[in-house]
Structure 1
Amino acid sequence: MPFRPVAELDHDAFTVVFEHGWQSWSPSGWYRLDARPPRPTAPNHHVMAYRPGVDADRFQGEGLLAVANGSDVTVVAALTPDVVPSIRAEVHGDKLVITADGEIQVTTSTQSNPNQALADWADTFAAGAPAVRVFGPSWCSWYAYWGKVTERDVMSDVRQFDEHDLSVDLVLLDEGYQSAIGDWLTPRDDFGSTVRLAADIRKDGRRAGIWVAPFLVAAGSETARLHPEWLVPGISAGTNWGEEQLVLDVTHPGAARHIQDVFTELCRQGYDHFKLDFVYAGAIDGPRHEPLDGIAAYRLGMRLLREAVGPNRILHGCGAPILPSLGLVDCMRISPDTDPLVEPPSGDISQPGQRGARSTSVAREFLHGRWWANDSDCLIVRPDVQERELWARHIEAGPGLRMSSDPIGALDRWGLDRTRELLIPSSPKPHPLKNPLKDPDA
């Protein structure tokens, strides 16, 4: 659908525009009219961290854009999670012209804090969504061991939790255990056993979680080789792990049974928290077995996962389209990955780095307690982490999950004390919101 005008607003030197990015890693925030919002610095970043196939050379929000001008905040937003238009704002003389490529709703608020206007919109948009759950403190293997994690590594850290009086309810096995992306039930040769790991984690009363990228299938995987009919033809989800990533077509009956069988087996092994990563792939448009658009296919796929795991296990979105995930996940990464480095080497703040993780998670604090529990990514405070004090303060100030991801043995005294201090249960209640017009860090 072509873009059409939906509103014309006055503007001045103090006007700011809120861009909401497509998925977890897409930059989001408030910008003055003379600013240049972040854009992808490489085609692969565009596919994997922005909205595939959608370009933006002006202010643009995916399903949500807002303008704060004087005492008014105008919120322009999608009508439903099932259809997410792109919404643009462009200066034309003395007017800021808002256009959209789909049906939208325009509301005006007199909230003095623009973020509160976004929160009010989020409350209304989420009407009927499930109540937000409370989550206990967690530990994740990713920033400790990256893709080379082993069963032995994880259990080495688990044994140190009690020794150092670290409160950890959930132990999350992140990426690296699998033999290939898409071959989820075949561990890497030198990993160990996912079955034994889950049992050992649970032995001491802790919960076991596991990472899966359910809608990705690596071109070189056994799944791709044996079942090409399960893939969306001609569609790439980007290049990662050294090879092209293809998209599982959940509208194909065989692929749907396969992914449900995978999650049923992981439940049987003892996992009850599923970090669903790179799930933007499921929402990429393409010629599927059934004639569904990308968002409809994504929402179908997420419902298939919920059917497989049941109502009481946790679905944790990451790399996920934000609006289309409403009502489908219990917690959601609302920022790019953090990193031991503050700045991403590419300069693209959708890529791993503390600066982008801070700015986008602060911009999306208004979603916490309204749509789900926010995940602003992990606490990492070992000595080689740049500006670790600032990152710890960011985690402390924000709402949502508290998840450590350091090798416990790599922490110095300050790092251990700070980790112990910040591993506290998350509150399901909405968080006091910063005012972007008054607080430069908002």
Structure 2
Amino acid sequence: MLKRKKILILLLTLVVMQPFISCSQNKESGFLSVLKNAPAKVILADGSEASKTAISIQRKWKGDLCQLSVKNTSSSPVMIREVIVFDFQHQLPGTTPIYGESFQKLGQIGGTLAKPEDWGTYSDRSHYKIPEPESMRTAYGMLTLELQNSQRVLLGTTSCEKFISRFSFDAKRLRISMDCENLSLQPGESWNLEEFIATSGNDREKLYDRLTNAIAKHHPRLKHDPVPMGWCSWYCFGPQVTAKNVADNTNWIAANLPELKYIQIDDGYQPWMGDWLEKGKAFGGDVGQVLKDIKAKGLEPAIWVAPFVASPQSELFKNHKDWFVKDEKGAPLRSDKIGFGGWRLGPWYVLDGTHPEVQAYYTNLFKTMREQWGVTYFKLDANYWGAIHGGVHYDKKATRIEAYRRGMQAILKGSGDAFILGCNHPIWASLGLIHGSRSSMDTWRKWDSFRDIGRENLLRGWQNGRLWWNDPDCILLTDAGADEVMDQGGNAVSAQNKSRLTENEFLYHAATVYASGGMLLSGDDLTKIKPARLDILKKLIPPTGVAARFENEKFEVGFIALKDHNEYVVFNAENAPVKRRIALSKGRHQLKDKWTGKVLGVFEKEYVMDLPAHSALIVEDRLIKN
């Protein structure tokens, strides 16, 4: 009898533990099985859980995709704070490596489930003060998990029309939710909660291919070919840029390097944030005429605009306070009261993309710049503020995602066929709305910046050419620039004791830009560039349009498949020399150093090299045909 009881207990234990036994034996399938069976619930505005008889949640799976929706089946309106679509004990080791996107592009999350790390420059939680559910570390839009048997799990949403998806986690729990912002769901009304994807595999890049292909069905990529090349005023002149600075570089580029066809005037030409058609005191010339002069030289006029924000001193704010996102008392929301207030000419107020007059203003503003000023490239900055949390919108039924997307749609209507670059933008909310995406924080002439910003860009290489063209920020090849006399916010600093970069460090930086496969913009005063550094710039022209593909986030050896040959980008960010190995396909390969043009030799199976500290090599690989 005792033996029979033991057998029965053992069988019951196996039934209860089966999902987790599967997870142990086959990590990816077991984990996804547990996820698909995880409970879901609706949290109301007061923090209580909604009754399942009043609110129903639908999860309809088709392969690795799941359509999520919620419906009010009661007879009364219901204010919903969030819908938790999956919530479970993940049963994974706390040492499981992760990668997740942040709400805005200046943040990235790495590390492990138990010890997450802020890999980006400015995090959502500390810098922008975006509330995290239950104070759990949170990624937005997507999260990947690297399991112990070389398998990866990718979780994400393939659409972002109304709600932002949140992936909150700790060492034991995974909580996936949609932020509903206390909006009211009417009786009988349903909300589409965006499409969800849960997939797995052992190839990092193929998982990203699957995600981006699914996204394309909801948010087709805005194409603008070829990959843009140009020049930007910010890193050589900062907010003190003058009309003469622009003219001097325009003349040099027209005569020496016309491939850099977009001449972009950055922040500093305007008097205040919001007064974009006026000129600042320092600029010393008519902005519209300077742009027309660029066109007359056979180049393309480009300009920086931060359309969603305004300084309190601006004429826009003074004359149209009703156009701005409100606080709970009905006054314009000062962004520094709930998060970051802006880096220059602040504290900023936020234009409300749901307001029809704001939408008309956007269309007219960009139409003026496009048609009258001839601008064919717009760098849109501070776009995060267009989706700011904690505000009250003109349209009380709209989320902050909808506010941002409506504003962007109005901008696209006015900008016509111009190239649109998103910068400091909400990443997932920008899907299908921009041609280019800044993939990192600003780059500065320091080794730490070259290393860290390089990693930010390589982490997002999977987006390039799939969602948009990535903008890895400017290539900097001269020793002096605006960062010698100002910080990243444009404030004056001392240039004393500034350490100089080595030649290898400049080449490392150039290689990260090249490996991104994305845009190429020079950030130097090209009238002063030395011939050797100019030669490096010329070797990066034109961009490949193809991001290097990597096995993992160590980013040691990247592979670029081109039409007539392959290339490898090999990095060493360490403080000491290392050996790196390139695995070659079957056959005989002639390898060449892209920087020097030197033929390295003919190799089979592999090429092993000694790579100095803080350096990178681009190797051209041509298969020798018998």
TM-score range, shorter chain: 0.7 to 0.9
Sequence identity (%): 24
Report 1:361-372 matches (<5 A).
Answer: 361-372=457-468
Report the counterpart of residue 261 of structure 1 in structure 2. Answer: 364
Amino acid at match of 1:77: G
Q: Secondary structure at the residue paired with 1:76?
A: strand
Q: Which moved more, 1:98-107 or 1:282-291?
A: 98-107
The reply on whether 1:85 has 2:165 as its aligned counterpart is yes
Q: Distance in 2 between matches of 1:277 and 1:64?
A: 23
Report the counterpart of residue 436 of structure 1 in structure 2. Answer: 552
Report the counterpart of residue 514 of structure 2 in structure 1. Answer: 396
CA, structure 1 residues 49+306, in 2 after alignment: closer, same or farther (shift >3 Å)?
farther
Q: Secondary structure at the residue paired with 2:117?
A: coil
Q: Distance in 2 between matches of 1:106 and 1:297?
A: 25
Deviations 1:292-335 (A, max 9, x none): 2111000000000011122x211110011111111111111111
Report the counterpart of residue 177 of structure 2 in structure 1. Answer: 101
CA, structure 1 residues 35+207, in 2 after alignment: closer, same or farther (shift >3 Å)?
same
Q: Which moved more, 1:158-167 or 1:205-214?
A: 158-167
Deviations 1:388-410 (A, max 9, x none): 23211211222110111100133
Amino acid at match of 1:270: G
Q: CA RMSD in A?
A: 2.7
Q: Distance in 1 between matches of 2:385 and 2:557?
A: 31
Q: Which of 88, 107, 110 matches 1:26?
A: 107
Q: Distance in 2 between matches of 1:62 and 1:176?
A: 32
Deviations 1:175-204 (A, max 9, x none): 110011000001113311111111111112
Deviations 1:18-60 (A, max 9, x none): 11111221124x4344644118999xx7589657344796542
CA, structure 1 residues 48+242, in 2 after alignment: closer, same or farther (shift >3 Å)?
farther
Q: Distance in 1 between matches of 2:519 and 2:129?
A: 26
Report the counterpart of residue 349 of structure 1 in structure 2. Answer: none
The reply on whether 1:195 has 2:313 as its aligned counterpart is no
The reply on whether 1:122 has 2:212 as its aligned counterpart is yes
Q: Distance in 2 between matches of 1:342 and 1:434?
A: 23
Q: Distance in 2 between matches of 1:199 and 1:37?
A: 46
Kept in 2: contact 1:249–1:288 (CA 8 A): yes
Q: Secondary structure at the residue paired with 1:374?
A: strand
Q: Distance in 1 between matches of 2:85 and 2:366?
A: 43
Shift of 1:10: 4.5
Q: Distance in 2 between matches of 1:6 and 1:106?
A: 15
CA, structure 1 residues 193+52, in 2 after alignment: closer, same or farther (shift >3 Å)?
farther
Deviations 1:105-162 (A, max 9, x none): 342222x232431232122122250353322421111111111111110110111124
Q: Which moved more, 1:289-298 or 1:45-54?
A: 45-54
TM-score, length of structure 2 as denominator length: 0.63
Q: Distance in 2 between matches of 1:440 and 1:364?
A: 15
Q: Distance in 1 between matches of 2:267 and 2:382?
A: 11
Q: Which of 228, 236, 243 matches 2:334?
A: 236
Report the counterpart of residue 302 of structure 2 in structure 1. Answer: 209
TM-score, length of structure 1 as denominator length: 0.87
Q: Distance in 1 between matches of 2:429 and 2:458?
A: 20
Q: Distance in 1 between matches of 2:129 and 2:216?
A: 22
Amino acid at match of 1:409: T
CA, structure 1 residues 54+8, in 2 after alignment: closer, same or farther (shift >3 Å)?
closer
Shift of 1:7: 5.1
Q: Unmatched 5+ residue regions in structure 1?
A: 344-352
Q: Which of 96, 109, 131 matches 1:15?
A: 96
Shift of 1:436: 1.4
Amino acid at match of 1:227: H
Amino acid at match of 1:326: L
Q: Secondary structure at the residue paired with 1:316?
A: strand
CA, structure 1 residues 145+56, in 2 after alignment: closer, same or farther (shift >3 Å)?
farther
Kept in 2: contact 1:135–1:425 (CA 8 A): yes
Kept in 2: contact 1:209–1:274 (CA 8 A): yes
Kept in 1: contact 2:262–2:301 (CA 8 A): yes
Kept in 2: contact 1:381–1:415 (CA 8 A): yes
Higher relative contact order (CA 8 A, sep 6+): 1
Q: Secondary structure at the residue paired with 1:152?
A: helix
Q: Distance in 2 between matches of 1:239 and 1:171?
A: 25
Q: Distance in 1 between matches of 2:136 and 2:456?
A: 18
Kept in 2: contact 1:49–1:319 (CA 8 A): no
